[in-house]
Structure 1
């Protein structure tokens, strides 16, 4: 069972928990971008479509490790423009328990590995043994 904490004296998070912990097996998911199964970019120039594809990829990776979004303790968002965060949050909220969200970090970067990539998201999960 994961524990979601927002300690006294720390400003409330907008859609994330400050601390998430729990016993179990650690799962690290490499940063996912909006590539489909054939390696083709989905939603070139469309942050909403890219965010949806990234979360679909994360879901497949989690499932391969025997995990679900309920097991995710941390999400790291890397975006080429912070203005696309609302699209990322919409896709995120379709997959996570918004009452007990994972810890999160959002960073604007100059570029990702391809000019077609608008965002990359990595995930960490703890799966009960």
Structure 2
């Protein structure tokens, strides 16, 4: 079973707000491609609705985790791509709906957020990829 050590407090750095500064792990890693708000038929979920798109993207990521035999506790890094980062609190709230029941009070995975001019389809508002430590 992999060991995950989430480092949240770093001398000289501001505390990570909703993320760990670093995560160490042992074992095999999976690099999960970016997930967007497309359903199983390739149809967009949540036209112009960041909350709905975030939920669908995370459902899609959760499906990949299950296929890998992993859970949210095994995610060691997120990369988030947003068209409008002013709505970040919405994403944080929904992310926590998914990962808090599994992580409890442990720090969230390491994370990077990038504002982009657009994603592969103009109606997509958010994309998330992940690095997973396979149990």
| Range class of TM-score, shorter chain | over 0.9
Q: State the secondary structure of the residue aligned to 2:124.
A: coil
Between the aligned partners of 1:112 and 1:127, the Cα distance in structure 2 is: 28
Q: Any stretches of 5+ residues in structure 2 without a counterpart?
A: none
Q: TM-score, normalised by structure 2?
A: 0.91
Query: 113, 117, 121: which one pairs with 2:124?
Result: 117
1:2-13 matches, within 5 Å, as 2-6=4-8, 7-13=10-16
Q: In 1, distance between residues paired with 2:58 and 2:87?
A: 15
Gaps of 5+ in 1: none
Match of residue 126 from structure 1: 133
Deviation at 1:127, TM superposition (A): 1.9
Task: Identify, as 1 or 2, the structure richer in helix.
Answer: 2
- Partner in structure 2 of residue 67 of structure 1: 70
**Which residue of structure 2 aligns with residue 80 of structure 1?**
83
2:42 aligned with 1:39, yes or no? yes
RMSD: 1.0
Q: Which moved more, 1:103-112 or 1:7-16?
A: 7-16
**Scaled by the length of structure 1, what TM-score is found?**
0.95
